[in-house]
Amino acid sequence: MSADGCQVQVQEAAFNPDQLQCLLPAGGAVVTFTGNVRDVSAAGAVHALQLEHYPGMTERSLQAIAAEATARWSLRAAHILHRVGRIEAGEAIVWVGVCADHRGEAFAACEFIMDALKTRAPFWKKEHGAQDARWVEARDSDISRAERWQLTRTGDTGLGPCG
């Protein structure tokens, strides 16, 4: 397992998910996830999101999550890309790609990374509708999904192979 198997990137620029998978190493199983900005929420129409984050801690947190996944499922690679700043409805906001020897590890690791990111990485969404803007509330369902992996919020050891 090489130390560059974990790659995290936080950027304002839009990205094309189709161009990211080819950056993963070849391997038995590749699973990717793309999250896009929905154009509607419980509070109404959404034109765009404004993503605030905690520079420095964000990258550390994502690196720790990728390292934890890599150690837990013996991944060949774990890549995480997350946008910040203004993101229009329909645009991609997050991309995760993992490579493992077998599909079971790859599926589990990709889902784990997203569940951990949703509860541990310091990002905050503000929805911009037609006339107003509102902070997005954290969802209990995200906490319970993360708890399935027995994640603890202070459990980012950073001691994995990429730490």
The residues binding other proteins (CB under 8 A) are 35, 51-54, 56-57, 60, 82, 93-94, 114, 117-126, 135-138, 153-154, 156
Shortest distance in whole angstroms from residue 102 CB to other proteins: 25
SS3 content of the chain, % helix, strand, coil (to 5): 30, 35, 35
CA–CA distance from 100 to each of 42, 45, 75, 119, 152 (Å)?
37, 39, 5, 24, 24
44 and 129 in contact (C-beta within 8 Å)?
yes
Nearer to other proteins, 18 or 140 (CB): 140
70 and 1 in contact (C-beta within 8 Å)?
yes
Q: What is the DSSP letter of 155?
A: -
Nearer to other proteins, 123 or 149 (CB): 123
Shortest distance in whole angstroms from residue 144 CB to other proteins: 13
Give the DSSP H or E segment for 60.
helix 57-73
Amino acid identity, position 56: G
Nearer to other proteins, 29 or 143 (CB): 143
Nearer to other proteins, 67 or 114 (CB): 114
Shortest distance in whole angstroms from residue 83 CB to other proteins: 10
Shortest distance in whole angstroms from residue 28 CB to other proteins: 27
